[in-house]
Amino acid sequence: MTFLKQTILAALATSSIPQAAANSEYRSRPDLAPPSLNITIPSPNANSSEYVFVAPYASGGTLERPGPYIYRKDGDLVWAGTGYYAGFVANFHPTTYQGKSVLQAFQGSMDTSHGEGFGQHVLLDQNYEHVVTSTAGNHRVSSIHEFNVVGGKTALIEVFYTTPANLSAYGGNETQQWLGNGIFQENDIATGELLFEWNALDHVDPSESLVTLGSTGSNSGVSSADAWDYFHINSLDKNEEGDYLLSSRHTSTIFKINGTDGSIIWRLGGKKPSFTQTGNWTFGFQHHARWHPELSQAGTEVISFFDNSGNGKITYNDVSRALVVQLNHTDNTATVLRKATAPYELQAQSQGNAQLLADKRIFVNWGSAGAFTEFSADNEILYHAFIQSGSVSYRGFLGNWTGTPTESPALVALTSSDTVQLHVSWNGDTETKAWRFFYVSGNKKTRVGQVARKSFETVHTWKPSFAISSSARFVAEAVGRNGKIIAQTGSAAATANIELVA
């Protein structure tokens, strides 16, 4: 059964029907090579202003240009973040900072053995220009998993902190002296001021870990590089009362943390649960826990999270899913209100997230399974796609975005025997409705066509009725709403067309 499942998934991930041609050559931007999306369930509103935000990287394969990308739901590229973020990129999506829409992402390095990282969080504005770089305080280094902007001013940041420790109580010998501790902070984004810090070792004993000391080479504890990652924070949220919601992957526990003294208010799951899970439902190795006060009633709290349900060694359920859970503080029960189960029996052994949208849709990124799905309010699958085979994204999101790049649009003019092909694109632009093309000779500018903008790159074929001057140039204008010209390319000389082999 496992072999059959893997065979089916491999076929789906590499199928060319209906494969989106998002990684085809862009003649105007040949330096871009975005991963393709294999769309197995097309979206009914594929060309809306709601875009997909992912940061694919290679996992078991090769990827020419890993990094952050924005796509339309039909797989067409909107923005390739190559050069805007550096190193390993994760947790890429729009957010609000100081009342303005911005993009956020982690950039740095990835510790593949632990699934942790070391780097910083960078915000870009709608022009794709740098706004602020945020780092952890108190001599810490930010990790990959979380940068959750709270109230447009502060951010919740996760830190993987390796430290010497006496591990004899957990079966460690004299060579096993390194522990990977879980720390989180809330910091002021603009100033970097540390507002709150919580240390897992002060509150959760390592004996609660499901990933035991020495269970893998990377958790042997014999060096800082192989520190025992006993806790593994992978998400943080904050409620209006000032308390925190923390997901610990390696204890399979979601914690509510007192925002004043750091004490644990309750635990969902794990070895010391505060709630009885009604109906005997289970979860484990979860990600992306979030509060939902709009769904709560008196005496209850509602949270959502992505239930991986396994890590490759321990399995709770054979398929991953997004869960919405009600926590009842009267009878201390936890009840599943909603479950969106992965199509194709996908199980993400790592990574993943579940995004509840305002109209009750759920967008789920299946982490290490390399796919994402949009569900309706009734959990009907509206849209599903696999990321290019061998590629995954730590998280993935849907969101609206207005991109107005400061860089100029790119234009190339390619000549053949009797035609000129004009290829134009504008990386990150969401506002152009049409492209207007001109032939420029001396001081004379002649319009040679206009084409509606339907994809990342627009092509216009012109058949001139006269010989093209060797000194002639071409330009293109971006036409926005109401016919307004919003940008112009630089001038491009005509060059011989080189036929590319598909």
| Cα 57 to Cα 388: distance, rounded to the nearest angstrom | 10
Q: What pLDDT was estimated at residue 466?
A: 87
Neighbours of 89 (CB within 10 A): 27
pLDDT band at 100 (very low <50, low <70, confident <90, very high): very high
Neighbours of 63 (CB within 10 A): 19
| Cα 306 to Cα 348: distance, rounded to the nearest angstrom | 10
Q: What pLDDT was estimated at residue 62?
A: 87
Is the per-residue pLDDT at 367 higher than 90?
yes
| Cα 53 to Cα 259: distance, rounded to the nearest angstrom | 31
pLDDT tens-digit series, residues 170-224:
999 999 999 999 999 999 999 999 999 999 999 999 999 999 999 999 999 999 9
Burial string for 297-321 (b: 16+ CB within 10 Å, else e) reads eeeebbbbbbbbbbbeeeebbebbb
**Residue 208: strand, helix, or coil:** helix
Region 40-63: mean pLDDT is 93
Region 65-79: mean pLDDT is 97
Is the per-residue pLDDT at 2 higher than 90?
no
Region 58-72: mean pLDDT is 93
Q: What is the mean pLDDT of the chain?
A: 94
Q: What pLDDT was estimated at residue 24?
A: 59
Least confident of 10-14, 241-245, 333-337, 453-457: 10-14
Measured in degrees and rounded to the nearest 5, phi and psi for residue 101 equal -75, 130
Is the per-residue pLDDT at 112 higher than 80?
yes
Q: What pLDDT was estimated at residue 470?
A: 84
Q: What pLDDT was estimated at residue 6?
A: 46
Q: What pLDDT was estimated at residue 500?
A: 61
Neighbours of 412 (CB within 10 A): 22
| Cα 380 to Cα 371: distance, rounded to the nearest angstrom | 17
Q: What pLDDT was estimated at residue 375?
A: 98
Is the per-residue pLDDT at 448 higher than 60?
yes
Q: What pLDDT was estimated at residue 197?
A: 98
Is the per-residue pLDDT at 237 higher than 70?
yes
Hey, what are 163's tokens? 């430290």
Which class is domain 2-155+168-187+203-400?
Answer: mainly beta
How does DSSP assign 96-161, residue by residue? EETTEEEEEEEEEEEETTTTEEEEEEEEE-TTS-EEEEE--STT--EEEEEEEEETTTEEEEEEEE
Is the per-residue pLDDT at 70 higher than 90?
yes
Q: What torsion do the CA atoms of 465, 467, 469, 475 make, to the nearest 10 degrees?
A: 30
Q: What pLDDT was estimated at residue 263?
A: 98
Q: Give ∠ CA 376-382-386 in degrees, rounded to 5.
A: 125
Q: What pLDDT was estimated at residue 449?
A: 97
User: Where is 411: in which H helix or E strand?
Assistant: strand 410-415
Q: What pLDDT was estimated at residue 491?
A: 95
Q: Percent of the chain beyond pLDDT 70?
A: 94
Asked whether 247 and 235 are in contact (CB, 8 A), the reply is yes
- For the chain, what are the domain ranges? 2-155+168-187+203-400, 410-496
Is the per-residue pLDDT at 230 higher than 50?
yes
Asked whether 14 and 389 are in contact (CB, 8 A), the reply is yes
5 secondary structure, DSSP code: H
Q: What pLDDT was estimated at residue 163?
A: 97
Spatial CB neighbours of 419, under 8 Å, sequence gap ≥ 6: 461, 462, 463
pLDDT band at 417 (very low <50, low <70, confident <90, very high): confident
Superfamily for the 410-496 domain? Immunoglobulins (2.60.40.10)
Beta bridge partners of 183: 159, 199
Q: What pLDDT was estimated at residue 12?
A: 55
pLDDT tens-digit series, residues 19-49:
444 445 899 999 999 999 999 999 998 989 9
Region 134-142: mean pLDDT is 96
Q: What pLDDT was estimated at residue 25?
A: 81
